[in-house]
Structure formats: C-alpha cells, structure tokens
Amino acid sequence: MPTFEIVTHIMAPPERVFDVSLDVDVHTASMAGSSEEAVGGVTAGGMKAGDAVTWRARHFGVRWTLTSVISAYDRPRHFVDEQLSGPFKRWHHAHRFRPDGRGGTVMSDVVDFAAPLGPLGKIAETLVLRRYMAELIRVRNRHVKQVAETAPAAG
C-alpha cells in the first residue's frame, strides 16, 4: 500500500487548526478545482467522532463518490478519516497536530491507501495515484493554513 506524509506549519494554535481541518465547508472550498461537494451525512460545518460524510468529486474526468467516517478523534491532537465506501480498496488518513512552541502548529497528514483492481491498481498507485493524492492534500493544506491563520470573526 502506498503511504505518504505531508507536513504543514501553520501559525495558529492546534485547537484552531484541528477545528478548521474538520470543517466540511473549508474542505469543500479547498477542493473547488475538482468540484467536490458534500452530498450526504454531515454536509456543512464541523465534524466529530463517528460522523460520516459522502463526497462527490470529479477526478481524471470521472465523477467519483466516497463516504468516509471520523474513526478516531482526540481534540486537538489527532483524528482519522477512513473510507467506508468508494473508489479505493483502502483509504486511511491520519491528521496529527502538535504545538510548535511558538504559538503555531505542525500539522502532519499521513495517508495510506490502496487502489482496487489488483495488479492494475498497483500500477496506477505507482504511476499516478500516489503523486496525485499527495498534491490534493497539499492543495487542501494550503487552504486550511490560509483559513486557520486568518483571525476568526469576533462575536
């Protein structure tokens, strides 16, 4: 199974980064390039342990649907989202947050996944999917960083 890690430094406290990372609206905005939308389960706002969301998006010119659940949750240290149904044989995304000692957060995303279709899936993982999925996480994290570093509205 391919595994990769993306580390992002964010100048906001772990609690804020954790909450922003679990916000469906923030995720949807970050994935506008693939027309991703929440179509089932929690479709707006923050998620918590046990919550599920069904996403619909376009990747490689094909419309995909994936349902994931928050299977682990320890605010503000980590949470995990895992695929319940969708295009992958396996999708496990661990999100970790630790203070950087200067008022910011080191956010770490560790993703391990497996494509379906046996040997063909393994070829796709190696040639395309690992790099493509890592770039999607980077795009998402740039947006999470921007939102988290912007002071929340007063009131």
The CATH number of 3-149, from 3.40.50.720, 2.30.40.10, 3.10.440.10, 3.30.530.20, is 3.30.530.20
Residue 1's pLDDT band, with cuts at 50, 70 and 90, is: confident
pLDDT of 85-125, one tens digit each? 999 999 999 999 999 999 999 999 999 999 998 999 898 88
Q: Which helix (H) or strand (E) holds 45?
A: none
Q: Where are the domains of the chain?
A: 3-149
Task: Tell me the pLDDT of the chain averaged across its residues.
Answer: 95
- pTM to 2 decimals? 0.93
Alpha helices in the chain (DSSP H): 14-21, 24-30, 118-124, 130-149
pLDDT of 142 higher than 90: yes
- pLDDT average, residue stretch 50-56: 98
